[in-house]
Amino acid sequence: MSGFNKVVTSYEEALAGFTDNMTVMVGGFGLCGIPEGLIEQVNKLGSTGLTAISNNAGVDGFGLGKWLEKRQISTMIGSYVGENELFEKLLLSGEMEVILTPQGTLAEKIRAGGAGIPAFFTATGYGTQVADGKETREIDGRNYVLEPSLTADFALVKAWKADTMGNLIFRKTAMNFNPMMATAGKITVVEVEEIVEAGELDPNYIHTPGIYVQRVIKGNFEKRIEQRTIKPSSEKE
Amino acid sequence: MALTRDQIAMRVAQEIQDGYYVNLGIGIPTLVANYVPEDMDVMLQSENGLLGMGEFPTEETIDPDLINAGKQTVTAVTGAAYFSSAESFAMIRGGHVDLTVLGAFEVDQEGSIASWMIPGKLVKGMGGAMDLVAGAENIIVTMTHANKHGVSKILKKCTLPLTGANCIKRVITELAFMEIKNGAFHLLERAPGVSVEEIQALTEADLVVNGDIPEMTF
């Protein structure tokens, strides 16, 4: 069974082979479901020239915001990236290129990449600047844009539970981009809250089968909340 | 009188039917959830991966793993489901969401919408807006009819970068409920006490007015 044991015990091991100028996918929606320890480790490594594919770019001082501080990202591919001030500076100064991609198209580009589909047609963005320079086609009377898929050298994923064989279960909306990214990384590293023995997760409820996963590490998560919203106390039941 | 933000939301809510799956954008669209008739069941879709979004949590039930597309902490209702972003946009792009409500900077008589970018201001990104307008069959745009200087945002042709082309059919503003068809806005309803002339004065687009235009009722 050891051939299928994906568990690593240090972040150095988890990111072995990670170098400058790589393309890296990072799971999460805002700060929800981000692989905090793996992001930290890339920050420690100080790798530069990275192409980062992530829906958002973190906040000042947390998540991918840390990579921005160290100027590690040269190209950012995401759908909504403006939650931090530093990002604006890097964008305006030209230090970083940003490729804004509609959120559903981004998710599908990653899904397609992991599934071996080189490109797909979508109506999203037709007639907008997202379609500039891209092939379009009319199919059954509707216009579509050809969107190439995405893969990465590394996919950094956050899951709730893994077993030692890399089978994954996500939790609530911390799932988001993580399952597709797990399929689209040449090396997929998953940071989880809990690692259990193979056989302890019900095969009926596996979200991501272990075949997509190369390394699993148990992390400690701060789980910072971006928009803490509480029901007004007068409405409390 | 022009409608308040809440009244716009109330008028949108009248378009909801029992058993609808609904995606609400940020701003006025979010308020629509407050006016779903009590005898109706509606499931709210949040594009970060939740069908069956509930109200905000309490201090006791708050969960960092459970947020909405605006990154606010929320709860899930009975019968809710969680899924990936790819699955979420399969629902949206595949036309499975019954009603989508979103805001806009401008709409035009070709049904095009501009809602994500103002040149010269920092571009934060389109998020899921382009997917929503491309995928949904049934979209209601909520917006103000004109800016604070009285310049119409109901246009012959959008001036700002588009979110989607030829995709919007219904618009509700503080003054009017309009339908877009055959290359023109058609006035369906007026806000109570607002005249057709007042609406026309703030509408740059071609506005078709057929017969007596009823006032909205709440």
Provide the β-strand partners of residue A136.
Answer: A145
pLDDT tens-digit series, residues A161-205? 999 999 999 999 999 999 999 999 999 999 999 999 999 999 999
pLDDT for position B123:
77
Question: Mutate which of A120, A173, A183 to disrupt the B interface (most B C-beta within 10 Å)?
Answer: A173
φ/ψ of residue A12, rounded to 5: -60, -45
Question: Mutate which of B51, B55, B67 to disrupt the A interface (most A C-beta within 10 Å)?
Answer: B67
Q: How far is A8 from chain B (nearest CA, A)?
A: 25
pLDDT for position A237:
44
Asked whether residue A28 carries a pLDDT value surpassing 80, the answer given is: yes
pLDDT for position A233:
65
Asked whether residue B217 carries a pLDDT value surpassing 70, the answer given is: yes
pLDDT for position B1:
87
How far apart are the C-alpha atoms of A170 and A178, rounded to whole Å?
Answer: 8
- Determine whether the interchain pair A102/B64 forms a contact, defined as Cβ–Cβ distance below 8 Å: no
pLDDT band at residue B124, thresholds of 50, 70 and 90? confident
Mean pLDDT computed over B139-153: 96
A134 touches chain B (CB under 8 A): no
pLDDT for position A236:
45
Taking one residue from A and the other from B, the number of pairs with CB-CB distance under 8 angstroms is 178
pLDDT band at residue A93, thresholds of 50, 70 and 90? confident
pLDDT band at residue A86, thresholds of 50, 70 and 90? confident
pLDDT tens-digit series, residues A100-118? 999 999 999 999 999 999 9
pLDDT tens-digit series, residues B34-76? 999 999 999 999 999 999 999 999 999 999 999 999 999 999 9
Name the closest residue on chain B to residue A80, using Cα atoms: B125
Q: How far is B178 from chain A (nearest CA, A)?
A: 23
Residues 198-227 of A with CB under 8 A from B: 207, 223-227
pLDDT for position A234:
54
Q: How far is B11 from chain A (nearest CA, A)?
A: 24
pLDDT tens-digit series, residues B189-213? 999 999 999 999 999 999 999 999 9
Minimum mean pLDDT range among A69-83, B114-128, B143-157: B114-128
Of B145, B135, B131, B162, give the one whose Cα is nearest residue B202.
B145
How far apart are the C-alpha atoms of B4 and B123, rounded to whole Å?
Answer: 29
Inter-helix orientation angle A103-114/B85-93, to 10°: 120
Mean pLDDT computed over A91-104: 91
Chain A residues touching residue B64 (CB < 8 angstroms): 31-32, 174, 223-225
pLDDT tens-digit series, residues B79-104? 999 999 999 999 999 999 999 999 99
How far apart are the C-alpha atoms of A23 and A179, rounded to whole Å?
Answer: 18
pLDDT for position A83:
73
Name the residue facing A104 among B68, B76, B92 (closest C-beta): B92
pLDDT for position B91:
97
**Can you tell me the ipTM of this complex?**
0.95
Strand pairing report for A119-122 and A142-148: antiparallel
pLDDT for position B136:
85
Chain A residues touching residue B62 (CB < 8 angstroms): 225, 228, 230
Residue B47 belongs to what H/E stretch? none
Q: What sign for the dihedral angle of Cα A12, A16, A17, A22?
A: negative
Asked whether residue B218 carries a pLDDT value surpassing 60, the answer given is: yes
Name the residue facing B131 among A88, A104, A175 (closest C-beta): A104
- C-alpha distance from residue A1 to each of A165, A198, A234, B14, B206 (Å): 9, 10, 56, 60, 71
Q: How far is A120 from chain B (nearest CA, A)?
A: 13
Helix (H, G, I), strand (E, B) or coil at B16: coil
> Whole-number mean pLDDT of chain A?
95
- DSSP H stretches of helix in chain B: 5-13, 28-31, 85-93, 129-135, 196-201
Name the residue facing B163 among A122, A128, A170 (closest C-beta): A128
pLDDT for position B186:
98
Of A33, A82, A4, give the one whose Cα is nearest residue A25.
A33
Minimum mean pLDDT range among B19-23, B136-140, B174-178: B136-140
> Whole-number mean pLDDT of chain B?
95
Output the CA torsion A6→A150→A101→A228 (10° steps): 0
Strand pairing report for B106-108 and B113-114: antiparallel
Longest CA–CA separation in chain A, Å: 57
pLDDT band at residue B116, thresholds of 50, 70 and 90? very high
| pLDDT > 90 in chain A, percent | 89
φ/ψ of residue A134, rounded to 5: -105, 155
